[in-house]
Amino acid sequence: MVDFPRLCLEEATMRIEKEMLLKDQLRLLAIRTRDRLDLTQREMAERLEMSESSYSDIETGVYMCGTLTAMLLLLMQEDPRRFLQALDEAFAKQYEGLLLT
Q: Is the pLDDT of residue 99 over 90?
A: no
Q: List pLDDT tens digits, range 8-64.
A: 777 888 889 999 999 999 999 999 999 999 999 999 999 999 999 999 999 999 999
Q: Give the global pTM.
A: 0.84
Helices (H), the chain: 4-37, 41-47, 52-59, 67-75, 80-100
Measured distance CA(64)–CA(82) in Å, rounded: 20
Question: Which residue from 53, 55, 58 is spatially nearest to 44, judged by alpha carbons?
Answer: 55
Residue 98: pLDDT band with limits 50, 70, 90: low
Residue 5: pLDDT band with limits 50, 70, 90: low
> Tell me, what's the pLDDT at 50?
98
User: Is the pLDDT higher at 101 or at 34?
Assistant: 34
Measured distance CA(25)–CA(61) in Å, rounded: 10
